[in-house]
Amino acid sequence: MSTDHQELVLRSLTAALQSKKLYPPGHPSVAAPARKAFQVLTPAIKETPKLTIGMVEEALVYNETPVAEAEENYIDIIEQMKHKDLEAMTFEKGTTEKEVVDFLNILALESAPSDIQKELSTKGISHITVKTVVKNKSILEVYNEAVDTIKNVMGELRLGKIPKSDAVNHVVDDLTDKILTDSNAMVGLTMIKNYDDYLYNHSVNVGILSLSLAKHMQLGEEDLHTVGVASILHDVGKTGVSEDIIKKPGSLSSEEWEKVKEHPVLGSKITKRMDNLNDTVCRVILEHHVRYDKSGYPPVEEDIHPLSIIVSVADAYDALTTLRVYQKPYQPIEAIKILKGLAGKHFDAKTIEAFESMIGVYPLGTLLRLSTNEVGVVTKTNPDAHDRPEIKILFAPDGEKVEDPQILDLATPDASGTLVIGSVDPMARNMDMGEFYTNEAIAAEEAEAKK
């Protein structure tokens, strides 16, 4: 392999990417450099049946050889690869001009599709493949990214813009991933309640709870994605209601209340205008305050969609467990009782049953007093024996905080003599459950890093 090819190829790709920054697609000044790149690539591929340009620890690599002075000469390639989380792009023998042109178009996109390889296949590009960096994001990173994403979406809407759906789709994929692998830790984070910016954390919490419920109900991949997107966006319509009303500390006048009640319709109108969102997402958003018995708002003719019921149950649970001006937060155990009391009226009984079985008799976020008079927090629910969860003992029998809290799995034979006596109000123990689960997630992350 000659370095001549290397320089020619990298230079021509850089020129093609630069031209895309300067000119709109279709402009002759864009087409020529892309064609040139193809012409240079062809002999280079011939020489090495496969040509791979990659990134290894921040360094640009051409067919496994690090490229000297890459930052100075080929910064556009580096930037686009980093931006698209690409570890490598490979050109194989038989690559056509159209493939190179289409590939460069995708590579130069400002907001990349969440799955570039899939995008290549959709475009019929079969001789160019990409490898994406596998980033193992922590659950906290995913949670915070989700909060930032919904914050940005709502921010753009308040400015009168229609946001792109890429970031939302991306974040829903990440959340789903974590819920499939570490659902306990993720549900624990829904105890994070932000009273100043209630709407963002609430949206993410409803997203997590809806996805967990959908997973528990064994819904397929497509439904999971739809319910994830719909739940995280369920309250976007509130951006169309004045912030004075949304954040009003006191109770609302009937006129103000009528305004708030418009948010499902406004929300579905917004999502209809967003790209790449399916009709069910808009429908779920429209229906998230319609009750099972058709009371609620707005009035609808049809039976509500099963995914709408999932979101409405998750929405109600998060609202009940959150401190509001007009409501002290209910303990998770109490919230479940309230929801069960509404089964068959506000929510269908089957979804409530599934929710209870997902969240457990003693849900995450619950402090329990044991027969030993110790007090501990639920760290893992036990689907096989709901009344025997795993807990972390935080308070000794004398009420003193334990220095080095230990896990006690009530399902193990060792703990068979220990009974759960009842729940304890975290506020009475000065405990912030959101903070507790955040610290647990940080500790788990640190332990993982040490491995």
Binding mask 223-242 for Fe ion (x = CB under 5 A): ------------x-------
| Separation CA 205–CA 219 (nearest Å) | 19
Token pair in block for residue 54: 């990659």
Beta carbons within 8 Å of 271's beta carbon, 6+ residues apart: 233, 236, 277, 281, 282, 285
Binding part of the chain for Fe ion, among 55-63, 78-86, 313-321, 356-364 by CB under 5 A, reads 313-321
Q: Which is nearer to Fe ion, 235 or 356 (CB)?
A: 235
Q: Which is nearer to Fe ion, 244 or 384 (CB)?
A: 244
Q: Output the smallest distance, CB 399 to Fe ion, in A.
A: 37
| Separation CA 374–CA 283 (nearest Å) | 47
Q: Which is nearer to Fe ion, 236 or 394 (CB)?
A: 236
Q: Which helix (H) or strand (E) covers residue 80, if one does?
A: helix 75-83
Q: Output the smallest distance, CB 373 to Fe ion, in A.
A: 39
- Write 350-355 long-range contacts (CB < 8 A, 24+): 351/213, 351/217, 351/306, 351/309, 351/310, 351/313, 352/313, 354/213, 354/216, 354/217, 355/213, 355/313, 355/314, 355/317
Binding residues for Fe ion, how many (CB under 5 A)?
A: 2
Q: Output the smallest distance, CB 167 to Fe ion, in A.
A: 20
- The four Cα atoms 327, 158, 190, 399 give a dihedral, to 10 degrees, of -50
Helix ranges, 240-348 (H): 243-246, 254-260, 263-273, 279-287, 306-320, 332-341
Q: Does 315 bind Fe ion (CB under 5 A)?
A: yes
Cα-based angle 443, 448, 449 (whole degrees, multiple of 5): 100
Binding part of the chain for Fe ion, among 180-188, 309-317, 337-345, 422-430 by CB under 5 A, reads 309-317
Q: Which is nearer to Fe ion, 130 or 304 (CB)?
A: 304
Q: Output the smallest distance, CB 267 to Fe ion, in A.
A: 8
Binding part of the chain for Fe ion, among 20-28, 87-95, 104-112, 308-316 by CB under 5 A, reads 308-316
Q: Which is nearer to Fe ion, 174 or 235 (CB)?
A: 235
Q: Which is nearer to Fe ion, 225 or 238 (CB)?
A: 238
**Contacting Fe ion within 344-373 (CB under 5 A):** none
Q: Output the smallest distance, CB 206 to Fe ion, in A.
A: 6
* Sites of contact with Fe ion (CB under 5 A): 235, 315
